[in-house]
Amino acid sequence: MSKDKTCLVCKKSSNETPVTKFYYQKSEFYICPQHIPVLIHNPQELIGLLPDADKLEKG
């Protein structure tokens, strides 16, 4: 995991857009407001970006 404060989906930095920190599997990640719905409603789209995203249930 990168220590940069960048959205895990679009890779925009906190200098370009607001980002929110969240914790998952003892690690911290950042996501921008545009992609929070992906995390909530379509976590399967995070496969390859977030560890074990395939195990997350749709919200």
pLDDT, tens only, 15-56? 999 999 999 999 999 999 999 999 999 999 999 999 999 998
Full-model pTM: 0.85
Q: Is the pLDDT of residue 3 over 80?
A: no
According to the 3-state scheme, what is the secondary structure of the chain?
CCCCCECCCCCCECCCCCCEEEEECCEEEEECCCCHHHHHHCHHHHCCCCCCHHHCCCC
Are 6 and 48 spatial neighbours (Cβ–Cβ below 8 Å)?
A: no
